[in-house]
Chains A and B, each alone.
Chain A
Amino acid sequence: MTSAIKIENLTKYYGKFKALSSLNLEVDTNTIYAFIGPNGAGKTTTIRTLLGMLNPTEGTVSVLGQHPTQKNTGMFNKIGYLPGELSMYDKLTGNELLKFFGNLKKITDWKYVNELVERLNCEPTKKIKTLSKGNKQKFGLVLAFMHKPELLILDEPTSGLDPFLQQTTIELVQESKNTGATVFLSSHIFSEIDKVAETVGFIKEGELIVEEELEVLKSNAVKTIEIEFKDAPPATLFDSMGNVQKVEAENNSIKLNVTGSLDSVIKEISNYEVLNIISEEPSLEDLFMNYYESK
């Protein structure tokens, strides 16, 4: 599988402040990659370097097989970008804004643009300055998707949107992926990342602390299960299992933290009469917080 984005040893200084430190990151073509980190971790610096707005202090960046420099501006026709802090021309109407950027991007399929406008429930006849944050965000999304890019770089795409439009945005991301696009997504909303992301990268203080497929990350994570037995099991029941930690035992119920596969636990309890098992899937937020606090 080829890479849509490849970052090697990227370091970025702002004066004496080190914003990124030897960052290595690779996004496979036709995948959805979620880039997660708190404010100030280096997400926006990474994104702006990918788009050629910032020059690396050290290291290299390759996007769709090219370096994002002014020699390769043609590559931007293959990239759809939604900034985290969206600023648009306030004096233009939505229609004028789309026309302007559509012309710069040499759009030919205006039917698709109109379809996006309808799906996102935009108000194209109003001036941008009269729109709310959420309504401006809709136009930002149309600008990112309008030219059917090969690579979408979306920084907080659902910011300010109502739940219905958040769902529409997730659908658009998924549809783009289905038609062959790669999506690089930065968001604070873990539930939406959980729905679409295939790979996640956690960034902390300019360094990538984890990069893994979401499913693998979840399967290797600590899961909490609560087992209710008909009769109280022996107190030493799980003591010999290395991947199990007893959290609490009350009456006939035991709460466990299990790392990795549940197979050994299931086999062990099969010798007893079990009334109920409640398993809590770790949320992406839990995973993030665990990694973030442990590093």
Chain B
Amino acid sequence: MLSRILTKAIYDQKRSLIYWNLGTVLLVFLVMTMYPAVQEAGEGFNDLMDALPEEMKALFYGGSSDVGISTPAGWLNIEVYGLMLPFILIIYGIINAVNSIAGEESNGTLELLVTTPISRVQIAIEKFLAILLGMIVISSLYTLTVILFKNSFEMNSLQSSVIISAGFEVFTLAIGYTAISFAIGAITGNKGLTLGLSFLITIVSYLWNGFHKFLPDVLESTNNLSLFKYYSSIDTSNTSIDITELLVVSGLSLIVVSISIAIFKNRDLTT
């Protein structure tokens, strides 16, 4: 099991990965069980949500056009896909990204690792891959949960392809913020700074995307810098994975991570 950095990094995530998966699946399942009652209440809920300003709707629904709370997509969006699932996956990614290089450097364990014949580039790549694998497992399990139980809770109208597409949307968004966090850790080697900056960037870009319309005209287009702008949760018009978006965010993440690894390769270690 402990034959290389990648397997050791997966081994380190083992226990937390189990709990994150259990918690996420349970959350999604509970939300699904409530849907039949919400559907019955119908219009009352819809009127309540319709009264919200557009910007607030965007915050809750995650940019989807499916905003009717009594529809399966609308209900899942407002309860999990709009806010909870993206943040669960982003937080998982950030915590593990912080613990990978910055964490090991702050703890002092990196000192023994970099004095083995394994290069810093390989150490960084394998650690990042381990985080991605953990995120793939979480994304896959909650996506599978929705697909497996949708018919049991009167969500038959929701196509599996739409759910898979939404799963990819969440994953793509989380990759972006995980990559930023990993890069800050690789460049600074400071655990506290990486954790603080990562959450600050995530929260500010989330709020910025929601409230940019309240800003002066000059700043209105700045929400293009927020990855949340490109995120859409369950959208019944999306029956296929947005490959372009996946490639763009993955490509940008790859560039950010590559630059940070190049800096990590040659910089002084802080331990």
Contacts and interface: CB of A to CB of B under 8 A. Distances in A.
Interface in B33-52: none
A91 interface: yes
A55 B263 CA distance: 13
Interface in A60-85: 70, 73-77, 79, 81, 83, 85
A48 interface: yes
Chain B at the A interface: SS class: loop
A76 B115 contact: yes
A76 B117 CA distance: 5
B115 A55 contact: no
Interface in B1-35: 2-5, 8, 12
A255 interface: no
Contacts of B118: 73, 104
A81 B266 contact: no
A91 B11 CA distance: 10
A276 B267 CA distance: 63
Contact of A70 (B4, B107, B115, B119): B119
Nearest to A79: B115
B270 to A, nearest CB: 9
Contacts of A100: 2-3, 8
A88 B107 CA distance: 9
A18 interface: no
Interface in A243-284: none
A85 B111 CA distance: 10
Contact of A91 (B3, B5, B12): B12
Contacts of A76: 115-117
B109 A89 contact: yes
B109 A87 contact: yes
A75 B115 CA distance: 9
A48 B269 contact: yes
B121 to A, nearest CB: 7
Contact of A104 (B4, B107, B111): B4
B2 A55 contact: no
B49 to A, nearest CB: 46
B116 A87 contact: no
Given A55-B268, A70-B265, A87 B114 contact: no
Interface in B80-117: 107-109, 111-117
B115 A103 contact: no
B57 interface: no
A193 interface: no
A169 to B, nearest CB: 18
B120 interface: yes
A160 interface: no
Contact of A53 (B12, B107, B114, B265): B114
Given A87-B111, A88-B109, A91-B12, A96 B2 contact: yes
A76 to B, nearest CB: 5
Nearest to A83: B111
Nearest to B265: A70
A53 B111 CA distance: 8
Nearest to B115: A81
21 contacts: A51-B114, A51-B115, A53-B269, A55-B266, A55-B267, A55-B268, A70-B119, A70-B265, A76-B117, A81-B112, A83-B108, A83-B111, A83-B112, A87-B109, A88-B109, A91-B12, A92-B2, A104-B4, A104-B117, A105-B117, A143-B112
Given A73-B119, A76-B116, A88-B109, 5 more contacts: A51-B114, A70-B266, A79-B115, A101-B116, A105-B117
- Across chains A and B, which 10 residue pairs bring their CB atoms closest together, nearest first? A87-B108, A100-B2, A104-B116, A53-B269, A81-B115, A73-B119, A77-B117, A103-B3, A76-B117, A54-B268
Interface of B: 2-5, 8, 12, 107-109, 111-121, 265-269, 271
